[in-house]
Amino acid sequence: MIEGWREYKIEDLAEIRNQSRVPLSKLERSQRSGPYPYYGASGIIDYVDGFLFEGEHVLISEDGENLKSRKTPIAFKADGRFWVNNHAHILKGKKAFHNDLICHYFSQLDLSAHITGAVQPKLSKASLTSIPILLPEDEGEQETIAEVLSSLDDKIDLLRRQDATLEALAETLFRQSFIENAQDDWEEGTLDDVLTVKGGTTPSTKNEAFWDGDIHWTSPKDLTGNNGLFLLDTARKITPEGLATISSGLLPAGSLLMSSRAPVGCLAFSVNPVAINQGYIGILDEKGFSKEFLILWLKTHMDYVKSYANGSTFQEISKSTFKRLEISKPPEPLRLKFQATVSPIFGRLFENALQIQSLERLRDTLLPRLMSGAVRVDLSA
């Protein structure tokens, strides 16, 4: 063990307040709708008319598939007044910085040895309290580690909140220009008139020669875990041999992607040339309507798009159905004027996406090294 470090237990750092949790059924929540967040294992799932906790706490997933997949954080902070069900452990740090330390520690911790249940993974309270937490004995060093990592999280959060504001502004401008001020003499048509649709497929996973190359290949899973309007990377890559099995080939950088099933309607621009699987509708702006116009049309008309999805196992909208959806086509001068207004907004969103990616990589590199003592903080600075 590193000199000056020792093992702690979770109860050395925080008070566990599970005894105060109260689950509410979906029916009960519908009868108690209100302003207070209702948390489950992976975050807010509803809003209710009362609260059980007040002030900053840490929630750690108690059960659910996410304990293994880690699609969303398993440890996260909740603040203000809120309600928690019995699917998340709730902790209150003994010192304010302990909340940040706990979140960061669990975000990089392999929990496989502490999880029970093959069908429904579970992290019991007994397992949680048995997990050793290696930290410096010096509380000043503990606090500095938390501050370093939290400063990166704060910068990322600020950029994401800025993104939300910019996206809302772009949607508002679109609604004002093309929905609220729509004219009766605008030409009516279908999406097939204004965009080009591409489909995709999955190369055989049984053929190793198709996989682990350097060509980006995406499935909708990449979008469900994606923050923002830009897909900067893909979980899997394919080889030229794998690409040859996909009839649509490689879509150009900047292509607009929409998930067509499981779920319908996730949207993003691909930053890189990309091949897509069968769960996507790939959209190219080859017919005079910009990709910014198209994504904003889809975002503001997504309920309409989803109303044409069907399927017994999961909802899906086919490419042929998608192309037949009706659209009112604003005249080109109006579209060009709108484009000049929103282009800087999308430019800033792209810059923010790159900054967030850089900050996340820095944080994810520093996190295990700081939490293991491989990198030490300078307390004299």
DSSP string over 37-73: EEEETTEEEEEES--SEES-EEEEE-BSTHHHH-SS-
The two domains 5-137 and 187-325 share their CATH topology (first three levels equal): yes
> What φ, ψ does residue 6 adopt, rounded to 5°?
-150, 170
Q: Is the pLDDT of residue 114 over 80?
A: yes
Mean pLDDT of 117-122: 89
Q: What percent of the chain has pLDDT over 90?
A: 89
> What φ, ψ does residue 103 adopt, rounded to 5°?
-60, -50
Residue 70: pLDDT band (50, 70, 90) is: confident
Domain ranges of the chain: 5-137, 139-186+330-381, 187-325
Mean pLDDT of 317-334: 98
Q: What is the pLDDT of residue 60?
A: 98
CATH 3.40.50.720 fits 5-137, yes or no: no
Residue 3: pLDDT band (50, 70, 90) is: confident
Of residues 139 and 380, more confidently modeled: 139
Q: What is the pLDDT of residue 381?
A: 58
The CATH number that domain 187-325 falls under is 3.90.220.20
8 Å CB contact between 232 and 257: no
Q: Is the pLDDT of residue 380 over 70?
A: no
Token pair, residue 248, equals: 């649509």
Q: What is the pLDDT of residue 377?
A: 82
Token pair, residue 344, equals: 């800087």
CA 76 – CA 102 distance, rounded (Å): 9
Q: What is the pLDDT of residue 226?
A: 82
Count of C-beta atoms within a 10 Å radius of residue 367:
19
Q: Is the pLDDT of residue 69 over 90?
A: no
Task: Say what angle helices 139-175 and 332-372 make with each other, to 10 degrees.
Answer: 170
8 Å CB contact between 131 and 81: no
Mean pLDDT of 328-357: 98
Q: What percent of the chain has pLDDT over 70?
A: 99
Mean pLDDT of 215-230: 91
Domain topology for 139-186+330-381: Helix Hairpins (1.10.287)
Q: Is the pLDDT of residue 71 over 90?
A: no
* CA angle centred on 79, ends 369 and 149, rounded to 5°: 15
In sequence order, what are the beta bridge partners of 61?
Answer: 88
